[in-house]
Amino acid sequence: MTTAAKRTPRIETVLPLTPVQEGLVFHAAYDEDGSALYNVQVVLDLEGPLDAAVLRRSVEAVVRRHPTLRASFRRRATGDTVQVVQSEVSPPWEEADLTAVADGDREAEVARVTREARTRPFDLATAPLARFTLVRRRPDRFRLVLTNHHAVLDGWSTGLLLRELFEAYGAGGDASALAPAVPLQDFFAWRARQDAPEARTAWRAALAGLEEATRVAPNADSRRAVPTGKELVTVPQEVTTALTERARLLGLTANTVVQGTWALLLSRLTGRDDVVFGTTVAGRAPELRDVEAMVGMLVNTVPVRVRIDPRETLTGLFARLQEEQSRLGAHQHLGLTEIQGLSDIDGDLFDSLVVFENYPLDRTVDSVAGVRVTGTESHNSIHYPLSLIAHPGETLVLCFGYRPDLLTGPEARRVADRFVHLLRGFAAGTPAAAVGDIDVLTAEERHRLVVGLNDTARPVPDRSVAELFAAQAAARPDSVAIRSGERTVTYRELDDRANLLAAELDRRGIGPETIVALAVPRSAAMVVALLAVLKSGAAYLPIDPDYPAERIAFMLADARPALIVTTAGLLERLDGSGPGTPRLLVDDTPTSEGNPQ
């Protein structure tokens, strides 16, 4: 792999940070290991007669066009952090020629180079915070990898950048024919003009009455940097089409359907009817001229609060959510930290995030100068315990991210399955259903919980406990059946003693349909008495001698046993049971057969 030499830069301009950049810089500083968790990567697989030299010149051209690709982050003596834009940076260009690698090993090496580009950290104080890597698989097969720190590019800007890159490539590496780049200064000037007091009033009203944060992982350290796991789900085309059509008929956006479904699922996961989650908004105000062509980190993260009324229809819930979010649209420039400070909750309001990406990469560029895109991949790690990135298209692609230190893969998959189950229900006609009647469990989950986990039936012998014990005593007569302190009782001895006591019970008229109260301390005598009652065919009522006398008296009066089996030492505690119930005294000597009282 070859890397071009660095040039000596000079400062071109200094820009402030957006709220999201402030958060990303903070988290990067908190990550003491200097990991690459906040690196974002986009991969384009290319086929055709690609000219690597022209592509490199094209990269250099787009870097010169956009200040964000020449920016680093510096902390000033005043304590605030700013973006320092340099006039020149070292070309963020790397090449790896793998044409000599054996066919069976080449793809593994391509994956290694791609992974290495993604996992190599950036130093936020050193520009550029993006790198392009061109991997040559074969003479006409390539992989172009764009890796950048999330603080310099949002998803929309990545698509713009790649489109410009290939337009410049089509012009031989010359970007002069492109429309002038829209200055980032225009965005910051627009933000400075916004009515912050009005925005604070709107957010304070939106969060009024919120009693607690919504957390899927209540005890998690939200600042901890942990590589996330992913569960990718592709919604079938027919379901996606039905979903889109039903949303259109109801006047709902696909984003609203995704957010409303997440709110419903989050409500069931947390057991709350007032939930909050985060969402990423484009930050590109329509009144800002040519903002759609601006390249930088313009997105913002804001909270979405949804109150769940079980009597409301799903259509009503989604329509209300869309209307509430529309009212807040003009105030989404306020930073998340400031917004959360307007609520009555200390700290973060949520720990899950929903992102609706309406700029699919496969539409960024198709082919140019005989080179065509044959595949795309993207990698974006989110530090929240649970997140959802929705990619619309002919098939809706859902990427569920999760922190593996807080959730397992199967748990995340169950969340994904339930979400898709709810989407299928909406597409099939549940919008008119009451929210409280909607089942978030999939058919498989419900069957497992209702049928599978309750399937506790086991084959058992068609014999009583007394018969089973007699068979064990016959099979193992000299084995120890009871240990009580230093005393042991064999199965033969236990069976003999129980038979003697059972005979005494029979002489007293004890048999089926009668109850015998057992008030005997934990001992071998207690086991003998229990087995004797079972052998007689009666039922036994266990009386804990340590119960209060009033409770013992109530149990005996309520059950009305035909006989009380107890010991001499407990007679006084049974005085309150009345003199009408006969007693049979037992003790813990091996030869005792009971003495009637």
Residue 445 shares a structural domain with residue 469: no
Burial label for 116, CB within 10 Å (0-12, 13-18, 19+), is middle
How many whole angstroms separate alpha carbon 80 and alpha carbon 28? 15
Predicted confidence pLDDT, tens digits, the chain (597 residues): 544 445 556 899 999 999 999 988 887 776 666 668 889 999 999 999 999 999 999 999 999 999 999 999 999 999 899 999 999 998 899 999 999 999 999 999 999 999 999 999 999 999 999 999 999 999 999 999 999 999 999 999 999 999 999 999 999 999 999 999 999 999 999 999 999 999 999 999 999 999 999 999 988 876 666 778 999 999 999 999 999 999 999 999 999 999 999 999 999 999 999 999 999 999 998 889 999 999 999 999 999 999 999 999 999 999 999 999 999 999 999 999 999 999 999 989 999 999 998 765 545 566 777 899 998 888 887 788 999 999 998 999 999 999 999 999 999 999 999 999 999 999 987 767 899 989 888 888 888 888 888 888 888 778 888 888 999 999 999 999 999 888 899 999 999 999 999 999 999 999 999 999 999 998 899 999 999 999 999 999 999 988 888 888 888 889 999 999 999 888 877 765 556 789 999 875 443 334 443
Backbone angles phi, psi at 47, to 5 degrees: -140, 130
DSSP 449: I
Residue 242 shares a structural domain with residue 337: yes
How many whole angstroms separate alpha carbon 304 and alpha carbon 349? 10
Residue 439 belongs to domain spanning: 229-305+313-356+380-450
Residues 65-100 as b or e (16 or more Cβ within 10 Å = b): bbbbbbbbbeeeeeeebbbbbbeebbbbbbbbebee
Are 98 and 136 a contacting pair, CB within 8 Å? yes
Q: Which amino acid is at 480?
A: V
How many whole angstroms separate alpha carbon 584 and alpha carbon 76? 91
How many whole angstroms separate alpha carbon 19 and alpha carbon 333? 9
| Domain tally, the chain | 3
Residue 324, domain member (yes or no): yes
Residue 532 shares a structural domain with residue 488: yes
Question: Residues with Cβ < 8 Å from 172, sequence gap 6 or more?
Answer: 54, 57
Residue 458, domain member (yes or no): no
Residue 590: cis peptide before it, omega within 30 degrees of 0? no
Q: What is the 3-state secondary structure (H, E, C) of 483-543?
A: EECCEEEEHHHHHHHHHHHHHHHHHCCCCCCCEEEEECCCCHHHHHHHHHHHHHCCEEEEC
DSSP 477: T
Are 544 and 569 a contacting pair, CB within 8 Å? no
Residue 213, domain member (yes or no): no
Residue 361, domain member (yes or no): no
How many whole angstroms separate alpha carbon 182 and alpha carbon 317? 39
Residue 93, domain member (yes or no): yes
Residue 194, domain member (yes or no): no
The residue out of 399, 426, 450 marking a domain boundary is: 450
How many whole angstroms separate alpha carbon 491 and alpha carbon 489? 7
Residue 442 shares a structural domain with residue 469: no
Residue 430 shares a structural domain with residue 480: no
How many whole angstroms separate alpha carbon 511 and alpha carbon 235? 66
First CA to last CA across the chain, in angstroms?
99
Residue 255, domain member (yes or no): yes
Residue 237 shares a structural domain with residue 112: no
Are 149 and 297 a contacting pair, CB within 8 Å? no
Residues 232-259 as b or e (16 or more Cβ within 10 Å = b): ebebeeebbebbbebbeebebbbbbbbb
How many whole angstroms separate alpha carbon 566 and alpha carbon 397? 71
Q: Is 33 helix (H, G, I), strand (E, B) or coil?
A: coil
Residue 303: cis peptide before it, omega within 30 degrees of 0? no
Domain with residue 390: its CATH number is 3.30.559.30
Residue 435 shares a structural domain with residue 513: no
Q: Is 483 helix (H, G, I), strand (E, B) or coil?
A: strand
How many whole angstroms separate alpha carbon 137 and alpha carbon 113? 11
How many whole angstroms separate alpha carbon 449 and alpha carbon 503? 48
Are 243 and 256 a contacting pair, CB within 8 Å? no
Nearest to 324 by CA among 341, 305, 337: 305
Which residues in 204-267 belong to E strands, given as ranges? 229-234
Residue 471 shares a structural domain with residue 440: no
Q: Facing residues of 41 across strands?
A: 147, 379
The residue out of 426, 450, 474 marking a domain boundary is: 450
Q: Which amino acid is at 516?
A: V
DSSP 124: T
Nearest to 16 by CA among 268, 209, 184: 184
Residue 117 shares a structural domain with residue 238: no
